[in-house]
């Protein structure tokens, strides 16, 4: 049951993972994480907590991160489909401010490993989509923040009409990338 495939992304430390999945006339069975297999691939991930969100079609969540004690995340979609985005927020990184996006779904059995120091967000492409976040590191409500999904300095190319997207009040009030850069310099 170790049919995992790990693809290193251009953003240093990030991986696209195709995990084990099998199905027959009864349904299906998937395994998205095994500590030793991940460690062999160079990912040292220690599960701290798991969250699941349910989203209607065209919901954008993010771009979220924690400024103190950032979490590494393993994200996957047990039901539905998303376009998942990560942004490198590490000022010392050669890929600082760069982003990558991938389709994750219950059909393609892919997960995304999001290293510490990255912002994460997604748009749901189907009603009733379930997104699972497995996190390495404790949640820190005091420093949980984000950058707006439509920040022009980052320039994410979302595969939906942004006039039709749905957002939380919190996400619409997130800081700009320029504000984030100023806050990092002030630390």
State the catalytic residues.
64, 133
> How many residues are recorded in the chain?
187
Distances (CA, A) of 5 to 84, 109, 140, 182: 18, 11, 31, 38
In contact, 95 and 40? CB cutoff 8 Å: no
**Cβ-Cβ contacts under 8 Å for 32 (sequence gap 6 or more):** 17, 19, 20, 74, 76, 111, 132, 134
Distances (CA, A) of 91 to 70, 110, 127, 185, 187: 14, 28, 36, 9, 12
In contact, 103 and 111? CB cutoff 8 Å: no
């Amino acid at each position: 049951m170790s049919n995992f495939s790990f693809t290193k992304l251009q953003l240093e430390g990030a991986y696209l993972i195709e995990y084990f999945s099998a199905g027959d006339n009864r349904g299906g069975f998937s395994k998205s994480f095994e500590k030793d297999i991940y460690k062999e691939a160079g990912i040292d991930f220690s599960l701290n907590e798991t969250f699941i969100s349910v989203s209607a079609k065209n919901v954008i969540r993010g771009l979220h991160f924690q400024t103190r004690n950032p979490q590494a995340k393993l994200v996957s979609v047990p039901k539905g489909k998303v376009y998942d985005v990560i942004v490198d927020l590490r000022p010392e990184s050669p890929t600082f401010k760069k982003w990558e996006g991938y389709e994750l779904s219950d059909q393609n059995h892919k997960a995304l490993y999001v290293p510490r120091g990255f912002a994460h967000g997604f748009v749901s492409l189907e009603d009733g989509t379930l997104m699972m976040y497995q996190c390495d590191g404790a949640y820190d409500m005091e420093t949980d923040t984000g950058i707006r999904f439509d920040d022009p300095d980052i320039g994410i190319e979302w595969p939906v009409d942004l006039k039709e997207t749905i957002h939380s009040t919190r996400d619409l009030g997130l800081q700009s990338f320029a504000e984030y850069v100023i806050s990092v310099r002030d630390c």
